[in-house]
Structure 1
Amino acid sequence: MIPELGQLALILALCLALMLALVPLWGAFRGNLFWMRFATPLATGQFFFVALAFGFLTYAFMTNDFTVAYVATNSNSHLPWYYKFSAVWGGHEGSLLLWLFILCLWTVAVAWRSLHLPAELRSRVLSVMGMISTGFLLFVLLTSSPFTRLFFNAPDDGQDLNPLLQDFGLIVHPPMLYMGYVGFSVAFAFAIAALLGGRLDAAWARWARPWTNAAWAFLSIGIVLGSWWAYYELGWGGWWFWDPVENASFMPWLAGTALIHSMAVTEKRGEFKSWTVLLAICAFSLSLLGTFLVRSGVLTSVHAFASDPTRGFFVLMLLAVTVGGSLLLFALRAVDLKSESTFNLLSKETWLLINNLILLVAMVVVLLGTLYPLVVDALQLGKLSVGPPYFNMLFVPLMGLLALALGSGLMLRWKRHAQDQWLKSLALPALAVLIFAIVTIIWGGEHRWGIVLGVVMAGWIAVSTLVDVSHRIRFSQQGWRQPRSYWGMHVAHLGFCASILGVTWVSLHAFEQDIRVEPGHVEHIDGYDISYLGATSLQGPNYTAEQGHFVVSKQGKTITELFPQKRNYSVQRSMMTEAAIDPGLMQDIYIAMGERLDGGAWAVRIHIKPMVRWIWLGGLLMAFGGALAATDLRYRRLRHRQPQVSVGLETAPVTEVSHA
C-alpha cells in the first residue's frame, strides 16, 4: 500500500505543478493579484507531496520491501541502515526523485523567502520553476517511477547496492551536487521572469544573486566531495580523471562562476544584462545536459546510471525545450537589453568581462572534449577517446590567464581607474611573485618550471587579494565592517589559490610505486620504511575482507599503521579495494591492496601525495566564500512602494521593491 501512496503523491504533485506553472503566470499577465497569490500555497503543496513520496520510498528501503522493483535492485536485507538510506538515490529512479525533491525544496524556499519581491516578478519566477517541476514529474511518472511493483516474482532478498556506492562519501555527495545543479534553476527562473516581464533592470540581478551564490557554493561542495570519494574509494589514488561525468558537473560550475561575477556587474552598474541572462540560461542548461549524459546510456562511467535510450530521449527533449524556448524568448526581448551606463577600458567591468570570457572558453574546451567522442561514435566514424592530455594542454594555460586577470583586476575601481594608480598598486604583488619565483627556481627540484607556474598563479592572486583588503580597510569609512559579499569574494579567491597549489604539487611531485610484498617485507620509498606484517580475514555486514597490516616509519621512528582491505561483496560477486590513508596537511601516505599472489604475497600500490588535501581545502574555502556572500544583508535592504494592480473589479496594492 505504501508504494501506491507514493505514486499517488507524485500524481498529486504533478497536478499542483501544472497549476503552479499556469495560474500565477496568468495572474501576472492579467495583473490580477488574486491569481498571483496562489503561487506560494501551490509551491508549498507541491513540495509536501514530493517530500511525502520521497519519505514513502525511504520507508520501503528501511523495511526491505522487495516487492518494489527499485528496492529489490538496489538494496539487500544485510545492507547497513545508513547505506539503505543512501540507496534511495543509488539508482536512476531514486536519484531522479531526489533531483525532483531538491527542485521542490528550492521552489518552496523561493516562495517563502521572496515575499518582499514585486508580486508579478515573484509569480513569474515560481511559474517557471513550476514548469521545470512539471517536466521532471512527467519524466518520473512516465518513464522512471521508483514505485513499480513486482507482484508475482518478488525476490526473497535484494541484489544489493553497488559496492562502489557503499561509502559515506556517496551518502552526502549526490545531495550536495544536486543542490547545486538544481539551484541554478532559480537564477534561470529569475532571468526568464525578467524577460517575460520586460523588466531587465539591475533589481532582478540583485534579487537573484544570493540564490545563485548559494547554488554555486553547493555545487562546489558536491564537486569536492566527488573528488575526495574518487581519491580514497577507487583505489588508484587519483583525485580527477576528466571523466565525462566529472565534466558534467564541472561545466555548470564554470558557467556558474562566470554568472556570479556577471551578476555583480549587472546589479552594481547596470551593465552586462544580456550576458548575465545568457549565462543564467547556460548554467541551468548545462545542468540539464549533465542529467542527460548520466541517464541516457551514451557513456560509460563509474558515476553514470545505466539507462535505456527512452529515458535519455525524454531528457534530451526537455533540454531542447528549455534551451530553445529560453533562447527564443531572449531573442524576442534582446532589444530591451541595453546598458544603463558606460565604462572605461581600464575598469573593474572590463576585467570581469575578461574573466568571464576565459571561464566560458574553458567551459567550451571541457564541453568539446566531453561531447566530441560521443558525436563521432553516433555518426559511426569510429571510437575516439579524449583523455587528460587534451584537457591539460588547453585548460592549464587558460587557468594561468584567469589567475593573471583575476589578480590584476582586484584593485580596479568601477567605471574608470587611473593607469598610474593601478600600476602602483600592482607593484607589491609583482615584487612578491618575483621573489616566490626565484625561490621556487632554486628549490623546486626536477619539475621546478611547472611549480613556478603554480606558485606564480597562486601568489599573484593571494598577494593582490591581501593588498586590496589592506587598502579597503585603511581608506574605507567602514574599516573592517565590510559587506559579507566582499569578504566572501576574497575567501573564495584564496580558496582558488589553495587549490592551484594543491593541484600543482600533487601533479608534479606525487610518488607512486607498485610492489610485491610478503609478511616481514620492508620497502624503502621516498625516505619512508614501509613494513608489511601480514593479512587477516574479516567479516563485514555484507562482505568478507582480507585486511593488510602495514607499519610506516622514518629514521627508525614509527609514524603510523595502515590497514588497507580487499573486500568481496558476495551478493554482487565483486571485489573492491579499500585504501588506507595517513592524511596530512602537507602529505598523504596512501596504500591500496591489489591482487593476491602466490605464497601469501600481495600486489600493493603505494602513493606519496604531497599537498593533495589543499585541493579540497581550497574547494571548501570557495564554497564557504559563496555561502558567505549569499548571506549579505544588502540583499534584504529593500525600499517599498505601492503600485496598483487590479483584482477583479477592485484594486489592491502590490508590494514592489526598488533596488537600494
Structure 2
Amino acid sequence: MLITELGYFALLLALVIALLQAILPAVGVIKHQVQWQRLAPSLSVAQFVAMSVSFGALMVGFIYNDFSLVYVASHSNSLLPWYYKLSATWGGHEGSLLLWITILSAWCMLVSVFSRALPLDMRARVMSVLGMIQTMMLLMLIFTSSPFERTLPNIPIDGVDLNPLLQDPGLIFHPPMLYMGYVGLAVPFAFCMAALWAGRLDAVWMRWSRPWTVVAWGFLTLGIALGSWWAYYELGWGGWWFWDPVENASLMPWLAVTALMHSLAVTEKRGVFKAWTMMLAIFAFALSLLGTFLVRSGAITSVHSFAADPTRGLAILMILGLVIGGGLVMFALRGWRLTVESRYELKSRETILIINNIILLVAMLVVLLGTLYPMLADAFKWGQVSVGPPYFNALFVPASWLLLAFMGIGANLRYKYDGRPFLATAFVCAISACVLGAVLTYLMGTLAEYAHFDKAVYITAVLSMWVLSFMVLDIKDKTRHATNLVEGLKKLTPSYYGMQLAHIGVLITALGVAGVSAMGLEKDVAMTVGDSVHVQGYDFYLQEFDEIEGANYDATRATVQVKKDDELITTLYPQKRNYVVSMMPMTEVGIRPSLFNELYIALGEPIINDEGKVTADTWAVRIYVKPMVRWLWLGAIVMALGGLLAMFDKRYRMKKLKNFDGWEK
C-alpha cells in the first residue's frame, strides 16, 4: 500500500530531523548562534508530525490488512476485530518501539512548547539532549526492528493472528499509558544533562523539571496498575502481581522516580541533595531503558514478553550503556561545581526524606537483583537459578513497612530544624495507631468475612493509621495561624494537597495488598452440571455449559449462580476459548467486582474419566474469594490524582524567566 510506504518515508525523515535537533541547537549553543538555537522547537514539532504520520500509516496497514508488511502478517488476521487491529499496532516488538519513539517525540514537542520561559540556550540544550535520545532509538528501530519490512514477493493470503493473550482491552490502554511514564523519564534526564552541560547547577533546573517528573510518575503509576489489573483478570490465575521480570521492569523505574520526586522537592526548597538528585534523574531514565531491554531482548522468559531477538537486545543495551556512561561522565566533569546552599539538622524533614530515598532505592535494588540474578547465573555458568515470590516478599514487604514508618514522621517534621518536642507526639501517635489499627483490622476482617487474626494485616493497618495521624498533625500545624480551619485549608497549596492525596493512595494500596494476600481464599474443584461448592460463606452452583462463537474464536461458557444464605448474589459466566487461527486456548474469567469481597471463577480443562476419555460435562474449576483486591488499583488512581492536583500549583506556571538564577512569576 502507498500509505505504508509513506509511513516508512516519514520514519526516515524523522531520523533526519532528530539528527538536526541533536546537532544544530548544540552547535548554536557552542557557537553562540541564536538563530540555530531557535530551531529546536520547530524541529521538535516537525519530528512529532513525522512520527505521527509513520505511526498512523502502520495503523492503516493493520486496518486494511496489508499483509505485504511482515509485522502486520505476524500480528494480525482478517478475522481480528478492528479495535484489536488498532492495538495490534503496538502488540509486537517493532510496533511497540515505534510507539515508544512516537511518545518520545510527543514529550519533546510538549517540552518545547511549555518551556518558552527558559533561557534560549538552556532550552536548546534540553532539546538537543532529547534529540540525541531520539536519534539513537530511531537508528535501532530502522536498522534492527523496522515495522515496515516487506514480505514481497510472497505475500501471505492471511495473517498469523495476534497473540490471544493480547486480544483484550488491556492492550489498548496499558502499553500507551506505561510508555508515557517510561518515556517521560527522558525529560528530567535531559534537564539534568543540560544543567551539567551549562554548568548552572542551582535549583532552578530542578524546579522546571519537577512538574514533568510528576506527570511521568503519574502515567507510570497508572500504567503499572493497568498492567496488574489486566494480568489479574486475563491470565486466569487470580493473581495481581507475580514478581514476573517484565512486571519488575516497570516497578524499578517507578521506585527510582518516586525517590527522584521527593529529592527534587527538597532540593528545590532547601538547595541540598543536588548531586543525589542528579544521580536519581540519570538512573531513573536508565532503568526505563533497562525495562525496555528486558522485555524486548529475549534475555528473559515471561508470559508478558512476546518478542525476542538478541541483536535487538544488544542495540538497546548499547543505548543503555551510552545513557549511563554519558550521564556519569558528564556528572564527573561538571559535578564538582555543585554547592550546598543551606544546612539542616538531624531532626528535620530533610533527614527523613533522605532516609525514605534510601529505603526506596534499597527496595529497587532488591527487585533489580532478583530480576537479573537468574540471567547472570546463566551467563557465568552458575547453574539454572529461579528467583520467585518468597525472595521478593521476604525483603520487599519489610522495606515497605519501614517506608510507611518514616513516611509518617516525615509528614510532620519541618525543614532545616524542628525544635518542637517530638517524643511525646510520636508516643501519642503510636498509641493511637495501635488502637485504630486494631479497629481497622477488625473491620477489614468483618467485611471480608475472615475470622482469623493476621499479623501482617494488623502491622499494615497500624502503620497506615500512624501515617494518617501525622498527616492530621501536619495539617493542624500549617493552619494554626488562620482564623479558622476552613480559612487555613484554603491557603494550602495544590502541591501540598496533591502530596497528601498521593500518600493516602499509597496507604489504600498497602491495605489492599495486605487484605488480599492474607485473607484471600482459593479452591480447586471438579464440577459437573448441577454440582455446588461452598467457599467462604458463598455457594457456587454450576447451572449449565453452552457453546458460543465470537468473531475469531469458539468458546465453552459455564453459567454459575452464586448464592449466600439461599439468596442469589450474582451469576458468573467464565469461558474457555479456542482461537480458530492460532488454535490457542484462553481462559476468560467470571468476576463479581467488590471493594470488600470480590468473587472470581475460572474454568480449567475438561476432566478425563477412568476410561481415559474427556467428559464434556465435568470440568476443573478454580474459585477465588479476593477481599479488598480493588483497593490496589483504587490506591493507584488516588496516587495519580494526587500528582495531577500538584500540577495546578501556581509555582509551576512561570510566565517569564529573567535569568537562570531567579524566577519572575
Cα distance change, pair 475–587 in 1 and its aligned pair in 2 (3 A): farther
- Give the Cα separation in 2 of the matches to 1:637 and 1:106: 19
CA contact (8 A) 2:177 2:223 kept: yes
Task: Tell me what 2:628 maps to.
Answer: 611
Post-superposition shift, 1:484? 1.2
Task: Tell me what 1:632 maps to.
Answer: 649
TM-score (norm 2): 0.95
Are 1:157 and 2:138 an aligned pair? no
CA contact (8 A) 2:112 2:127 kept: yes
Task: Tell me what 2:230 maps to.
Answer: 229
What do you get for the CA RMSD once the two structures are aligned?
1.6
- Give the Cα separation in 2 of the matches to 1:199 and 1:223: 35
Task: Tell me what 1:649 maps to.
Answer: none
Task: Tell me what 1:651 maps to.
Answer: none
Task: Tell me what 2:29 maps to.
Answer: 28
> 5+ residue gaps in structure 1?
643-654
What's the secondary structure of 1:577's corresponding residue?
A: strand
CA contact (8 A) 1:209 1:630 kept: no
Equivalence map 1:148-227=2 (5 Å): 148-227=149-228
Task: Tell me what 1:405 maps to.
Answer: 406
Task: Tell me what 1:139 maps to.
Answer: 140
Equivalence map 1:584-599=2 (5 Å): 584-597=594-607, 598=615
Are 1:430 and 2:430 an aligned pair? yes
Post-superposition shift, 1:640? 3.8
Are 1:465 and 2:480 an aligned pair? no
CA contact (8 A) 1:211 1:630 kept: no
Are 1:658 and 2:663 an aligned pair? yes
Equivalent pairs: percent with the same residue?
52
Post-superposition shift, 1:470? 3.3
What's the secondary structure of 1:480's corresponding residue?
A: helix
Task: Tell me what 1:384 maps to.
Answer: 385
Listed one character per residue, the Cα deviations across residues 165-210 of structure 1 (whole Å, up to 9, x for unaligned) are 0111111000000000000000000000000000011110000000
Are 1:505 and 2:515 an aligned pair? yes
What's the secondary structure of 2:298's corresponding residue?
A: coil
Post-superposition shift, 1:83? 0.4
Post-superposition shift, 1:456? 1.3
- Give the Cα separation in 2 of the matches to 1:479 and 1:526: 44
What amino acid is the match of 1:309? Answer: P
Cα distance change, pair 453–656 in 1 and its aligned pair in 2 (3 A): closer
Cα distance change, pair 69–41 in 1 and its aligned pair in 2 (3 A): same
CA contact (8 A) 1:565 1:578 kept: yes
Listed one character per residue, the Cα deviations across residues 584-612 of structure 1 (whole Å, up to 9, x for unaligned) are 11111000000012251111000000000
- Give the Cα separation in 2 of the matches to 1:638 and 1:497: 36
Post-superposition shift, 1:438? 4.2
Are 1:480 and 2:485 an aligned pair? no
What's the secondary structure of 1:446's corresponding residue?
A: coil
Task: Tell me what 1:286 maps to.
Answer: 287
Task: Tell me what 1:61 maps to.
Answer: 62
CA contact (8 A) 2:204 2:661 kept: no
Listed one character per residue, the Cα deviations across residues 617-645 of structure 1 (whole Å, up to 9, x for unaligned) are 11111111112213322112455437xxx
Listed one character per residue, the Cα deviations across residues 260-291 of structure 1 (whole Å, up to 9, x for unaligned) are 00000111111111000000001000000001
Task: Tell me what 1:515 maps to.
Answer: 525
Post-superposition shift, 1:412? 0.8
- Give the Cα separation in 1 of the matches to 2:662 and 2:122: 11
Are 1:453 and 2:463 an aligned pair? no
Cα distance change, pair 475–145 in 1 and its aligned pair in 2 (3 A): same
- Give the Cα separation in 1 of the matches to 2:324 and 2:502: 30
What's the secondary structure of 1:475's corresponding residue?
A: coil
- Give the Cα separation in 1 of the matches to 2:442 and 2:46: 65
What amino acid is the match of 1:530? Answer: F
What amino acid is the match of 1:113? Answer: F
CA contact (8 A) 2:494 2:645 kept: yes
Post-superposition shift, 1:19? 0.7
Equivalence map 1:102-141=2 (5 Å): 102-141=103-142
- Give the Cα separation in 2 of the matches to 1:31 and 1:277: 26
Are 1:534 and 2:540 an aligned pair? no
CA contact (8 A) 1:210 1:631 kept: no
Between 1:78-87 and 1:469-478, the stretch displaced more is 469-478
What amino acid is the match of 1:538? Answer: I
CA contact (8 A) 2:497 2:645 kept: yes
CA contact (8 A) 1:118 1:656 kept: no
TM-score (norm 1): 0.96
Cα distance change, pair 137–233 in 1 and its aligned pair in 2 (3 A): same
Task: Tell me what 1:646 maps to.
Answer: none
- Give the Cα separation in 2 of the matches to 1:382 and 1:516: 39
- Give the Cα separation in 2 of the matches to 1:581 and 1:140: 40
Are 1:582 and 2:592 an aligned pair? yes
Are 1:81 and 2:60 an aligned pair? no
Listed one character per residue, the Cα deviations across residues 294-330 of structure 1 (whole Å, up to 9, x for unaligned) are 1110111121132211100000111101100110110
- Give the Cα separation in 1 of the matches to 2:550 and 2:473: 54
Are 1:46 and 2:63 an aligned pair? no
Post-superposition shift, 1:449? 1.3
What amino acid is the match of 1:335? Answer: W
Task: Tell me what 1:319 maps to.
Answer: 320
- Give the Cα separation in 1 of the matches to 2:48 and 2:491: 38
Post-superposition shift, 1:658? 2.7
Cα distance change, pair 325–599 in 1 and its aligned pair in 2 (3 A): closer
What amino acid is the match of 1:460? Answer: W
- Give the Cα separation in 1 of the matches to 2:84 and 2:442: 50
Between 1:423-432 and 1:102-111, the stretch displaced more is 423-432
Listed one character per residue, the Cα deviations across residues 326-345 of structure 1 (whole Å, up to 9, x for unaligned) are 10110111211121110111
Task: Tell me what 1:273 maps to.
Answer: 274
Listed one character per residue, the Cα deviations across residues 398-429 of structure 1 (whole Å, up to 9, x for unaligned) are 11110010001111111100141x34543553
What amino acid is the match of 2:512? Answer: G
Task: Tell me what 1:555 maps to.
Answer: 565
CA contact (8 A) 2:441 2:461 kept: no
Post-superposition shift, 1:215? 0.1
Equivalence map 1:291-310=2 (5 Å): 291-310=292-311
What amino acid is the match of 1:501? Answer: L
Count of aligned positions: 647
Are 1:496 and 2:506 an aligned pair? yes
Task: Tell me what 2:350 maps to.
Answer: 349
- Give the Cα separation in 2 of the matches to 1:241 and 1:123: 43
- Give the Cα separation in 1 of the matches to 2:50 and 2:442: 64
Post-superposition shift, 1:382? 1.1
What's the secondary structure of 1:79's corresponding residue?
A: coil
Post-superposition shift, 1:518? 0.8
Listed one character per residue, the Cα deviations across residues 554-608 of structure 1 (whole Å, up to 9, x for unaligned) are 0111000000000000111100000010001111100000001225111100000
Task: Tell me what 1:602 maps to.
Answer: 619
CA contact (8 A) 2:512 2:628 kept: yes
- Give the Cα separation in 1 of the matches to 2:188 and 2:585: 43
- Give the Cα separation in 2 of the matches to 1:326 and 1:227: 32
- Give the Cα separation in 2 of the matches to 1:441 and 1:414: 34
- Give the Cα separation in 1 of the matches to 2:366 and 2:558: 43
What's the secondary structure of 1:154's corresponding residue?
A: coil
Cα distance change, pair 510–441 in 1 and its aligned pair in 2 (3 A): closer
Post-superposition shift, 1:34? 1.1
Post-superposition shift, 1:437? 4.1
What amino acid is the match of 1:609? Answer: K
Listed one character per residue, the Cα deviations across residues 380-400 of structure 1 (whole Å, up to 9, x for unaligned) are 221100000001111111111
Cα distance change, pair 425–475 in 1 and its aligned pair in 2 (3 A): farther
> 5+ residue gaps in structure 2?
446-450, 608-614
- Give the Cα separation in 1 of the matches to 2:652 and 2:627: 41
- Give the Cα separation in 1 of the matches to 2:111 and 2:617: 60
CA contact (8 A) 1:547 1:563 kept: yes
Post-superposition shift, 1:534? 1.1
- Give the Cα separation in 1 of the matches to 2:491 and 2:576: 54
CA contact (8 A) 2:576 2:585 kept: yes
Which of 572, 575, 579 is 1:565 aligned to? 575
- Give the Cα separation in 1 of the matches to 2:28 and 2:662: 19
- Give the Cα separation in 2 of the matches to 1:81 and 1:657: 53
